[in-house]
Structure 1
Amino acid sequence: MEDLLAKPRSGPDALQFAVPTSRWDDAATVGLSPESLLLYRSNLLGSDLTVTNFGGGNTSAKIDGVDPLTGETVKVLWVKGSGGDIGSMKLDGFATLYLDKFLAIEKLYRGIAFEDEMVNYLPHCTFNLNSRAASIDTPLHGLLHFAHIDHVHPDALIALAAAAGGEQATNEIWGGKVGWLPWKRPGFELGVWIRDYVAANPGLRGVMLAGHGIICWAEDSKACYENTVELIADAARYLNAKLAGKPAFGGQKVAPLEAEARAAAAARLMPRLRGLMQGERGKLGHFDDSAETLEFVGSNDFPRLAAIGTSCPDHFLRTKIAPLTLDPATLQDDAYLAEALESYRQGYAAYYGRCASESDPKMRDANPVVVLVPGVGRITFAADKTTARLAGEFYGNAINVMRGAEVIGGYAGLPEQEAFDIEYWALEEAKLQRMPKPKPMVGKIAIVTGGAGGIGAATAERMLADGACVVLLDRSQDVLDQRTSELVRRYGKDVVRSAVCDVTDEAQIAAAFAYAAKEFGGLDILVANAGIASSAPLEETTVELWRKNYDVLAEGYFLTSKAAFPLMKQQKAGSIVFIGSKNGIAAATNASAYASAKAASLHLARCLALEGAPDGIRVNTVNPDAVIRGSRIWDGEWRQERAGAHGIDAGSELEEHYRLRSMLKRDVLPQDVAEAVYFLASDASAKSTGNMINVDAGNAQAFTR
C-alpha cells in the first residue's frame, strides 16, 4: 500500500455542513393532543440526522394533566426518558413528573459534590405511576420556565461548542440572542446554571453549552421546533462560509484507494484485528468509507486531531475518548497490528490509572472501539453489530465537528479528567449494570450456504433469534432476496446480509467470504448446507449427473470449508456444520450419485475435524432425512423420482410414507434440523468435534454405530 503515501497536496474543497429546513406539516398536527404534538415534534427532530444523532438529544413540554388522586388539574413535565431515541420513540418513551414536586426537590440540593444524589429524587416526582425513568438531563428542562424545550447535538452546533473560538462565533452568528456557558457535566448543577443564566439575560433564543450542544425553547411546539431548526441552519451556513474554497484538515496527504480496493483492505484487516482483541466474547465490526471519513483520515492534520479525541459526551461514550490509528503501509504486518493493539490497551490502562479514584468502577474493556486507516476508512468494533455501527456514526459526527471547529479557532477536546468522569460516571455505570444479559450468540458471525432453502433459512433464523449475525449465500437471487427481506423484518437490517454465491465457484466463494468479513469482521460459524438431489438407476446415471452431485455436495463443502479455515484461525476458534443426509450412512436405491457424494462429505467432515482441532475449529455433521415441508429440493424432480423409487404417489402418499417409515412416526421439519445445527454451532457443544447427529425421526439403517 506504499502508493497511498503520496506527497502532501491541497486536496479538494472541504465538505459542507447540511443545512436543515423545517419539515413541520400543519396538516399532520390537526387534532393532536398536546402530548401527541410533543411526540410529533420529537420524532421530526430525531429523524433528521442534521438535527441530532441517534439516541441523542431530548425534548420536553409542560402540559396540563388530571391528577389521578385528586382529580385536579396539575402541570406535568413530559421529558424524553432515559435511553430513548427521539426519532423513533413512542409516547411511552417520555418520563412524566409532577412539575411542582420536581421544583420542590431543589431545597434538598446539597451542592455540586452531591448532585448525583438528585437523580434518586426523580422517581418520587413521577406522575401517574409512569415506569419510564427520567434522564440525567431532566433538570435542564424542568428548571427553565419555558413551555417547550429542545436540547440537541447537531454537528454544526457542536462544532461551535468544541471550538476555541466558539463563543466569539456564537456572538457573531446571533448577535447576543444565543448565550454561552462553559463546559459543565450534565446534571442538576448544569440545570441551575442555565436557569440562572437565562434569568440574568432575558430575550435569549437559546444557550450554547460548551462541549455539549444547545438548549433552546419557545411557548408552543411548532415555534420550538422551528427555532431549533433555524439555529442549526444558521450555524451550518456560517461554517460553510468559513470552509468555502478551502481544503479541510490542512489538505490531503494520503489519497483514498478506489472503492473496491478499500473494501478488500477492510475485509483483510478486520478479522485480524478482531482476532487480536481481548475479551470473553467476540467483537462485531462495522466498516465505513464515507466521504467525511476519507477526507479526515487522509489529511495532514489527521494525526494531531485524532489524538485529541472526541469532545461531546454523546460521542465519546460510544467511541472511547480517542481512536486507534494505523499506518497503511504496515497493515500486512501481523506483529505491527498486535503491537498497535497492545499499545492502545496499555495507553487506555494508563489513562484509567491517571484519572480513577477508589470509588470509580473497575476499568472496562481496553480494546479500541474506533480504528482509522488513511486511504481505507473507519472500522468500529463493539459487542454487537448495532452498537458497532452507531459508534461509527458517532465518530462520523465527531469528524464533522472537528472540521467545523478547525476553521473557527481550532478544535478543543475535553480535559482528560472531565472526559474520564463522564465515561466512568456512576450514573452511566448503573445504566450499564441494568442492561439485560446478552443472548448466547451475540458476537458470533455465521455463513449459511443454501440460505434461501428450507433448512438454510430455518438455521439462519434459529441463530438470529439468539443474537448471531448471519450471511445467507444462495445461487437463486429472487428467493434469496425474499428470504433476506423476511429475516430483516424480524431481526433488523444490522444483523442480516446475503450474497449470491454458487458453491462450486471458488471465486464467488472468496468474494462472499470477504464480504462477510467486511460486513461483520470475521467468521465464527459455517453451515455448509447448499445442496441438490438426484435419483436414477446406475445405468441411467450420466457422468454429468454424477459430477454435478459431487461438485455441489462434496467439492462445494470442501471449497467453503477451505475459505472458512483462514478466517477461523484468525479468531482462534470456529464451528463448521455440514448438512449431511441419512443417505450418507444408509444406502439408497436409485441414488448412487447423491448418496455417495453425501458419504464423501461426511468423511470430509471427519478429516477436517482432525485438521482444525489444533486451531480450535470444530467440524460436525447433521444428517436429516425426508425434510419435505419447506424444502426447495423436494419441490423439484427429486420428489417425483423418490416417489417412483418407492412405487407411491408423489402428491398424496410421499410425506405419509416417510413419516410411517420412521421409528418415531413423526415428520422431520426444517426447524428440527436447525435446532441440531444450532447446538453444534453454539458453545453448548464446545467439546464436540467429528460427531454426527441424525435428525430423521429414527432410522436403524442410519445409526452411526
Structure 2
Amino acid sequence: MSNTSPAARLENLWNDATAQGMSESEKLLYRSNLLGSDKRVTNYGGGNTSAKVMETDPLTGEQVEVLWVKGSGGDIGTMKMDGFATLYMDKLNALKGLYRGVEFEDEMVGYLPHCTFNLNSRAASIDTPLHAYVPRKHVDHVHPDAAIAIAASVNSKELTQEIFGDEIGWLPWKRPGYELGLWLEKFCQDNPDANGVILESHGLFTWADDARECYETTLRIINRADEWLREKSEGVAVFGGEKFAPLPADERRKVAAALMPAIRGMISGERHKVGHFDDQDAVLQFVGSNDMEALAALGTSCPDHFLRTKIRPLVVDYDPSNPDLEATLNSLKASVEAYRADYAAYYERCKHDNSPAIRDPNAVVYLVPGVGMITFALDKATARISGEFYVNAINVMRGASAVSEYQGLPEQEAFDIEYWLLEEAKLQRMPKPKALAGRVAIVTGGAGGIGSATAERYLSEGACVVLADIDADALARTQDNLAGRYSKDVVRTVQMDVTSEDGVAQAYADMAVEFGGVDIVVSNAGIASSAPIEDTTLDLWNKNMSILSTGYFLVARAAFQMLKTQGIGGSMVFVASKNGLAASPNASAYCTAKASEIHLARCLALEGAPDGIRVNVVNPDAVLRGSKIWSGEWLEQRAGTYQTDKEGLEDMYRQRSLLKRSVLPEDIAEACYFFASDVSAKSTGNIINVDAGNVQSFTR
C-alpha cells in the first residue's frame, strides 16, 4: 500500500512448467516461497502455509493423511522442505476428544509432538490446529497490509462483507490457538462455499483443494482488498495531512547519527543493542503527519507486529520546523524513563498470577518527526525486521484510518500474547548469545590481512563490524567475502583516510546510523617504510607519523566522543608492532611512529578508565601472509636489509623467533578478540606481543 501506482498489484508468479512433476508437499514449498517473496503478502517470519497430503505410513505401509505445515519459527519466503512440521491428521482429529475447553487450550500444544509423522524433528507451531481443522487440502494464512487494514478497522465485519460478499467471511478477534482452530472448522462447515476468512485485528486465511488455486486465491483476495482501499481512500488526507515536511536526506542522517548513540547508551544496560534507521517515504509520511502521535499511541493490531515492535513506539520530542538537536538530546533521558514507567504500569495492570517476570521495558521503535524511524534490538537483523514490521503497521493504520477508524488490540489481549506462557517457553529455548552479541566494532585497515582476520573473528562471535580502509577495491572484495558468510546485515564498509579529520568524523556518523554506535575500536591502518636515516626524507617521516600516530589519534578521539555519549564503556585495541618496543635497522620513521602509538594507548588507558573504556595494544611481528604492507617496496627493502630474498624472508623471521613459528593474521585477530571480549574486562593499558617470541620486545 505504500506504492500508490497501479503496478503495485501482486503478480501471479506461479509457473506450471516449474511445478510440473512436483509432489504435493513440494508444491506447498513452491507456493510458500512465492508468497513469502513479497513482503506485501506477509512479513518476515509471519504467516503459515499448509497442505494435507497422502503419505505412506512408515509403520504400516498404508496410505495416511498427513498435515504438512510451517514449523515453529520459520519463514515461508526462505524455508526449505525441512522447515515443515508433519503430523498425522487422524491423531490431530483425535485431539478433539482431549480438549477440555478454552481455559485449557494451551495444554493442547503439549499433545502435538504425539501426532508427529515420520519422526520429524521440526516443532509444530501454535497455529497448527488453525490449518488442521480447515476441511480443505491447502491453506494459506498471511498478513498482508491491505487485509489487516480492513481487519483493524472498527467496523471490519461490515467492510469485509462490502468488499468480498460471501466469498470471504469474518471472525472476531481470538488469540491464535486450539479454540481458534475449532472456530475456523465451524465457519467452513457453516459456509462451505467460502474461500477464506478475515480474522479481526489479525490477518487473512484462504484455502482450496489445489495448490495453485490456493495461491491464486490468496493473491486475488489481497489485490481486491488493496484496490478497494485505494479507491475508497482517494482524496483522503493521509494520517490527517502533513504537519512536518521531511528534512533533506543528509540532515535526516545527521540527526539520526546524533540520536542513535545516545538512545543506545540509555537502553543497553542489561544487554547491548544494535540500531537500524529507516527513512523511506512511508515512514516519513507517517512521522510527519498530524495524526501520528494519536495513532502511534493506539498500538499495533496484528500479533506479529507488536511481538516485534512492542505494543507502541516512543515518539521523540523533535520539531523539524524549528530544530534544536541539543534540546532533543537533553530530553531523551526523560522520554526513555517515561516510556519505561508506562511499560511497567502496563505490565502491572495486565499481569496474571502466573505471568513471566517483566521483560526489557525499553521501546523498540523510536519515531522522529521529519527524520524517520529508529529501531533497536539485540542484533541487527532483528532491529531491521522490527522496522519492517512497523512499516507494515504504518500501512495498516494508513488504510484503516482512510476508510474507517483504526483500532489496536485491546491492552489485555496484547499483554496476554506478549506474556503468553507458550511465548515465554519459546524465548527460554533461545540459544545463549555469543560473546560479542550486540557489540559494534570498527576496524581500520579492515581490508588487509590482519584487519579482515580480526573482523571475521568478531563476526564469528556475533558482533557487527564496520570495515574502514582507504582502498575501495579491497574493501569491496572483503565485504563480499565476509557478508557472504556472515550476512549483509552485520557487515558495513566505509572508505576512510585515517589522516582526514572530516573523513574520520563521517565514518563514525555513518556507523552510528548503520548500527547505532560503537563498542570496539581496532586501530590497524598502517604503512611501512624502510630507509637509513640519511635517506629518510621529511615526506617519508611525516607520512609515517601522519598515518601511524596522527591517524590513531583521530580515530581514538572520535571513538572517545561516541563511547562517552553512550556511557556503557568500550574497548580500544591498537595494533602496533614489535618495532614500537624494539629498534630495527633502517626503519627509524616506522619504529618511532609505532612507539608513539603505544604511548598514546597508555595515555588513553588512563583517560578512559573512569568511563569504562579500556585501551590495550597488540604487537605483531613479521605477519607476512595477507598483509598489504609486506608487498612491493617494503618487502624488497626488508629483504635487502637482512640480505635475503623474498622467499627467504618469512623463514628468516620464523627462525629469528624464540618459538621458531610463523605469525599469521589469525593469531593477531585472536589477541584482538581477547581485548575486545569480556574475558579481558579487567585489563587496560596492557601490551600483548604476538611475535613467536622476541627477547628485545619483552615488555618487562
For normalisation by structure 2, the TM-score amounts to 0.98
Matched, 1:203 2:193: yes
Of residues 572, 580, 586 in structure 2, which corresponds to 1:584? Answer: 580
User: Who is 1:464 aligned against?
Assistant: 459
Tell me the CA shift for residue 278 of structure 1. 4.8
Q: Where do 1:180-329 residues align within 5 Å?
A: 180-329=170-319
1:310 deviates by 0.4
**1:4 matched to which residue of 2?**
none
Out of 88, 91, 99, which is 1:109 matched to? 99
Residue 532 of structure 1 and its aligned partner are, at CA, apart by 0.1
In 1, distance between residues paired with 2:213 and 2:633?
A: 67
Structure 1 stretches of at least 4 aligned residues deviating more than 4 Å after TM superposition: 12-17
Counterpart check, 1:693 vs 2:683: no
Structure 1 Cα separation of the partners of residues 169 and 272 of structure 2: 46
Structure 1, unmatched stretches of 5+, are 1-11
Q: 8 Å contact 1:14–1:247 — kept in the other structure?
A: no
The alignment status of 1:490 with 2:485, answered yes or no, reads yes
Q: Contact (CA 8 Å) 1:162, 1:412: kept in 2 or not?
A: yes
Does structure 1 residue 151 correspond to structure 2 residue 141?
Answer: yes
1:204-603, aligned counterparts within 5 Å? 204-329=194-319, 331-333=325-327, 334-572=329-567, 573-603=569-599
Does 2:608 align with 1:618? no
SS in 1 for 2:494: strand
- TM-superposed CA distance for 1:246, in Å, is 3.0
Q: CA deviation at 1:456?
A: 0.2
Q: Which amino acid aligns with 2:608?
A: G
Preserved CA contact (<8 Å) 2:356 2:421: yes
Please state whether the residue corresponding to 1:399 is helix, strand or coil.
Answer: helix
Q: Does 1:647 align with 2:643?
A: yes
Distance 2:7 2:574 in 1: 51
Alignment of 1:634 onto 2:624: no
State whether residues 287 and 367 of structure 2, in contact with CA within 8 Å, keep that contact through their aligned partners in structure 1: yes
SS in 1 for 2:489: coil
Q: Does the 8 A contact of 2:380 with 2:490 survive in 1? A: yes
CA distance in 2, matches of 1:299, 1:210: 26
User: Offset at 1:266?
Assistant: 0.4
Separation in 2 of the partners of 1:556 and 1:485?
26
2:70 to 80, 86, 106: 80
Q: Distance in 2 between matches of 1:48 and 1:13?
A: 13
The code of the aligned residue for 2:582 comes to: A
Q: Which amino acid aligns with 1:302?
A: M
Question: Which residue of the other structure, out of 666, 672, 676, is the alignment partner of 1:677?
Answer: 672
> 1:175, CA displacement in angstroms?
1.6
Q: Report the alpha carbon displacement of residue 17 of structure 1 after superposing the two structures with TM.
A: 9.8
Question: Structure 1 stretch 602-611 or stretch 347-356: which is displaced more?
Answer: 602-611
Q: Could you list the per-position Cα deviations for residues 156-181 of structure 1 after superposition, in whole angstroms to 9, with x for gaps in the alignment?
A: 10001001132222112112211000
Return the letter of the residue paired with 2:82: D
Q: Name structure 2 gaps, 5 residues minimum.
A: none
CA distance in 1 between counterparts of 2:187 and 2:643 reads 90
2:632 and 2:681 mapped to 1: Cα distance?
A: 37
Q: Which amino acid is 1:413 matched to?
A: G
Q: State the one-letter code of the partner of 2:596.
A: A
Contact 2:317 2:331 in 1 (8 A): no
Distance across 1 between alignment mates of 2:8 and 2:414: 28
Q: State whether residues 523 and 568 of structure 1, in contact with CA within 8 Å, keep that contact through their aligned partners in structure 2.
A: yes
The residue number in structure 2 matching 1:7 is none
Change over 3 Å in CA distance of 1:415–1:393 after alignment to 2: same
* In structure 1, distance between residues paired with 2:525 and 2:353: 56
CA distance in 1, matches of 2:538, 2:626: 30
Tell me if the contact between 2:443 and 2:522 (Cα under 8 Å) persists in the aligned partners: yes
When residues 509 and 496 of structure 1 are mapped into structure 2, their CA distance, relative to the original with a 3 A threshold, is same
Question: Which residue among 29, 32, 36 is the counterpart of 1:46?
Answer: 36
SS in 2 for 1:180: strand
SS at match of 1:173: helix
Tell me if the contact between 2:233 and 2:403 (Cα under 8 Å) persists in the aligned partners.
Answer: no
Contact kept? 2:135, 2:188, Cα under 8 Å? no
SS at match of 2:366: strand
Q: Which residue of 2 aligns with 1:3?
A: none
Look up the equivalent residue of 1:628 and give its one-letter code.
Answer: L
CA distance in 2, matches of 1:506, 1:367: 35
Q: Go from structure 1 to structure 2 and tell me whether the alpha carbon gap of 1:268 and 1:602 turns closer, same or farther (over 3 Å shift).
A: same
Alpha-carbon shift at residue 15 of structure 1 (Å)? 8.7
Distance 1:597 1:220 in 2: 73
How many angstroms apart in 2 are the aligned matches of 1:401 and 1:521? 27
Q: Of the candidates 123, 126, 130, which is equivalent to residue 113 of structure 2?
A: 123
Are residues 132 and 199 of structure 1, via their aligned partners in 2, closer, same or farther at CA, if it must alter by over 3 Å? same
Which amino acid is 1:293 matched to? V
- Name the SS for the 1:85 alignment partner: coil
Report the secondary structure of 1:214's partner residue.
strand
CA contact (8 A) 1:584 1:599 kept: yes
CA distance in 2, matches of 1:441, 1:91: 32
Deviation at residue 332 of structure 1 after TM alignment: 2.0
Work out the CA distance in 2 between the residues paired with 1:332 and 1:124: 60
Distance, in Å, in 1 between the alignment partners of 2:175 and 2:609 is 51
TM superposition shift of 1:13: 11
Equivalent-residue separation in structure 2 for 1:655 and 1:186 (angstroms): 65
CA gap of 1:146–1:14, structure 2 versus 1, over 3 A, is: closer
Q: Offset at 1:587?
A: 0.3
Deviation at 1:276, TM superposition (A): 1.1
Distance 2:126 2:297 in 1: 29
Letter in 1 for 2:379: D
1:354 and 1:16 map into 2 onto residues whose CA distance is 46
Distance in 2 between residues matched to 1:609 and 1:115, nearest whole Å: 58
Pairs within 5 Å for 1:47-66: 47-66=37-56
Q: Distance in 2 between matches of 1:14 and 1:635?
A: 55
Question: Within 2, Cα distance between the matches of 1:198 and 1:148?
Answer: 13
Secondary structure, counterpart of 1:441 in structure 2: coil
Deviation for aligned residue 1:331: 4.3
What is the one-letter code of the residue matched to 1:435?
A: M
Please give the alpha-carbon distance, in whole angstroms, between the structure 2 residues aligned to 1:383 and 1:220.
41
Shift of 1:18: 3.4
Query: For 1:668-690, what per-residue CA distance to the aligned partner results, in whole angstroms no more than 9, with x for missing partners?
Result: 00000000011011111111111
2:517, 2:64 → 1: CA distance?
56
Kept in 2: contact 1:279–1:365 (CA 8 A)? no
Looking at structure 2, the residues matched to 331 and 303 of structure 1 have their Cα atoms a distance apart, in angstroms, of 20
TM-score under structure 1 normalisation?
0.97
Conserved 8 A contact 1:137-1:186: yes
Task: Determine helix, strand or coil for the equivalent of 1:494.
Answer: helix
Q: Secondary structure at the match of 1:332?
A: helix
User: Counterparts of 2:485 and 2:4 in 1: how far apart (Å)?
Assistant: 40
1:553-601 deviation per Cα after TM superposition (whole angstroms, max 9, x unaligned): 0000000001100111122201110000000000010000000000011
